[in-house]
Amino acid sequence: MFTGLLAAVLAASTAACPSLPGADRLLARTGLTWLFLGETHGTAESPAAAADLAACAAAAGRPVVFAIEQPWTNQPAIDTYLRSNGDAAAHALLLRAPMWRRDAADGRSSVAMLDLIERLRLLARSRPLRIVAFDTPVFEKYEPGLRDRLMGTDLRRVVPTPGGLVIVYVGSAHAAKGTVPAGPKPYRAAADYLPADRTVSLLMLGNGGQAWNCQERCGVHASGNERDRKRGVDMLRAPDGSYDGLLELGMRTTASPPARSPE
């Protein structure tokens, strides 16, 4: 999928911290261990910004564990891909993993997510970085509260090396601190199970646009409100305390389709 020229460009982009104003101050925080990035599934811009933030953390000298909202059954395929040279055969092998073959292509198995993993693979060639898949493989069978409790419990076990950082890239509802309003049964979000004094949660927002995700059907949907914000990290705490700040994408979002068609 990637030409040699594109791979070289991506490798160069991981060598220095991309332009993400405000990220350096956040990453310099003493005691910060878990950094949640709450996204809207299915855009091209959110995974790119998450990769940029991982590059910033690595450039700051922090070993990175990138926790991704994919079932742990995908872990062997991810580990194999990180050790590969990223060629077409390696891509094909990665796409055989369960997450990429689901009928409900909800944005977590998009082209942009595949690009994110490729950028992390390139970054891991020169920096200490690993990817951890932490979701349950049968989450559809669980009530939302149980799924988030399992996510939070598993993430507490993901402890980086001294000075390291766990970047948790997940849907925005899971990244909230406190409870998620869900009809008559509000539940604690995954981020709420992590130590509050060592955890920061950012909501990722674009300036309106589109996303490929599953609502009544899976496909392209309108996403977010029309806004005019610049790209960067804004530590503006949500009034209800659910998020510690924003990761502004700084542009309208575009929908990223599935990396492969369901079988």
pLDDT at 133: 96
pLDDT at 4: 46
Asked whether the whole model's pTM tops 0.75, one would answer yes
pLDDT at 6: 42
Find all residues with CB under 8 Å of 252, minimum gap 6, and list them: 206, 207, 208, 209
110-138 as b/e, with b when 16 or more CB fall inside 10 Å? Answer: bbbbbbbbbbbbbbbeebbbbbbbbbbee
* Cα–Cα dist 43/255, whole Å: 5
What tokens appear for 55 in the block? 């590059």
Going by pLDDT thresholds of 50, 70 and 90, the confidence category of residue 12 is very low
pLDDT at 141: 67
What does the pLDDT average to over 24-41? Answer: 94
* Cα–Cα dist 160/128, whole Å: 10
Q: Could you read off the pLDDT of 117-150 as tens digits, one per residue?
A: 999 999 999 999 999 999 987 766 667 788 899 9
> Strand 64-71 relative to strand 129-135: parallel, antiparallel, unpaired?
parallel
Reference 35, options 133, 151, 175; nearest CA is 175
What does the pLDDT average to over 88-104? Answer: 89
* Cα–Cα dist 177/205, whole Å: 17
Q: Does the structure show a pLDDT above 70 at 31? A: yes
By the 10 Å C-beta count (0-12 exposed, 13-18 middle, 19+ buried), 40 is classed as buried
Going by pLDDT thresholds of 50, 70 and 90, the confidence category of residue 251 is very high
Phi, psi of 75, deg, nearest 5: -60, -45
Query: Do residues 209 and 252 make contact, with C-beta atoms less than 8 angstroms apart?
Result: yes
- Which domains does the chain carry? 20-248 (3.40.50.11550)
Q: Could you read off the pLDDT of 155-180 as tens digits, one per residue?
A: 999 988 889 999 999 999 999 999 88
Q: Does the structure show a pLDDT above 70 at 38? A: yes
User: CA-based Rg of the chain, rounded to a whole angstrom?
Assistant: 17
Better-scored residue on pLDDT, 12 or 116: 116
* Cα–Cα dist 143/12, whole Å: 43
What does the pLDDT average to over 67-84? Answer: 95
